[in-house]
Amino acid sequence: MTAASLEVRGVSVGYGPVRALNSVSVDVPEGAVVAVLGGNGAGKTTLLRAVSRTLRFHGGTIGSGTVSFAGRRLDGLTPAQVVAAGVVQVPEGRQVFARMTVADNLRAGALGAAGGRRAAAEAQARVHELFPVLAQRAHQRAGLLSGGEQQMLAMGRALMARPKLLLLDEPSLGLAPLMADRIAETVREINAQGTSVLLVEQNAAIALRLASSAVVLEVGEVVLAGDADELAASDEVRRRYLGITDDPGHPGAPEGAGAEGVSEGAPHPAAPLRRWSA
Ligand SMILES: Nc1ncnc2c1ncn2[C@@H]1O[C@H](COP(=O)(O)OP(=O)(O)OP(=O)(O)O)[C@@H](O)[C@H]1O
Ligand SMILES: [Mg+2]
């Protein structure tokens, strides 16, 4: 295990009688971007909540399994302790404090983080460098920002805690393609500066472009896991998550894309993907 890797092992989660995750395992090696794909209700957000220890705010509990970061168990910690350990979640739907200014939203992100005032000032400079618009609009209410700018603010707020691992929940949701691309570019930059990312996305094309590996969740279970390239080439992922239907006889079909991927129920001689049955 590398110094700051996340290890989720056999985690099951329920909301009362509703089973939302069933023995899910996923790794985020230090420095990696790992994507979590899956349709509505698959359990993607629940997985992030299990890591950030925020499940109980939503009526959820971990039934079994372990979550470790940098060799330290996170299960058992409070959400604030998870942040202090370097793991910070950007929630689905941004959840910026709409009536507070952009600057105050960023300040809120530094609360409880290690390092004090000087560290917060450094973090703010980094956030402003990444998202100049947040400096320009520092004194405006966050609720007046566009959707894309609010996503930048939500990410900026998380970065104020100087995370080693960022948990990103559908950052591109509801954004115009150009803005979604900009956000994706920033995720790449954040990662290049040394922050690992666990990226939940319904936009599989974006996710698989950014990530080195990915897992696919279906009804609370990991049904596929592998390198992002391999997943992007698999029939099942192309059909279900990339909206691509290959006509094998089509002259324009990319070479090898139709025949070599994994398809459900079919034998797959060159199967590059592991099916996890934890
Ligand atoms: N607070 C909650 N109380 C009860 N059930 C919940 C709660 N949150 C989620 N669930 C249920 O848990 C399952 C997984 O939901 P989750 O939100 O993790 O899925 P998701 O993959 O993030 O979906 P989406 O793409 O819609 O965001 C679903 O069946 C959902 O209805
Ligand atoms: Mg979700």
What phi and psi, each to the nearest 5 degrees, are found at residue 207?
-60, -45
CB 44 within 8 A of CB 38: yes
Record the tokens describing residue 167, joined without a space.
């948990």
Say if ligand 1 is within 6 A of residue 203 CB: no
Asked if 30 and 5 touch (Cβ cutoff 8 Å), the reply is yes
- Burial per residue of 81-104, b for 16 or more beta-carbon CB atoms within 10 angstroms, e otherwise: ebbbbbbbbbbbebebeeeebbbb
Which tokens sit at 97?
A: 């404090």
Phi, psi dihedral angles at 253 (to 5 degrees): -65, 140
Q: Which pLDDT tens digit goes with each residue over 218-277?
A: 999 999 999 999 988 888 888 877 776 655 544 444 444 433 333 343 333 333 344 443
Q: Which of 11, 26, 44 to mutate to test the pocket of ligand 1 (most atoms within 8 A of CB)?
A: 44
Nearest to 203 by CA among 237, 233, 229: 237
Which residues keep their CB under 5 angstroms from ion ligand 2?
44-45, 92
Q: Confirm whether pTM is higher than 0.85.
A: yes
Probe residue for ligand 1, chosen from 18, 55, 170 as the CB with the greatest number of ligand atoms within 8 Å: 18
CATH of the domain at 52: 3.40.50.300
**Cβ-proximal residues to 244 (8 Å cutoff; 6+ apart), any chain:** 238
- Which amino acid would we find at residue 274? R
How many domains does the chain fold into? 1
Return the ligand 1 atom nearest residue 39 CA: 25
pLDDT tens-digit series, residues 103-159: 999 999 988 777 778 888 999 999 999 999 999 999 999 999 999 999 999 999 999
Distance, in Å, from the CA atom of 172 to the CA atom of 180, rounded to the nearest integer, reads 5
Report if residue 245 sits inside a domain: yes
11 falls within a domain: yes
For residue 28, tell me if it sits in a domain: yes
Residue numbers of the domain that contains 26: 6-86+163-260
Q: Whose CA is nearest to atom 16 of ligand 1?
A: 43
Structural domain includes residue 138: no
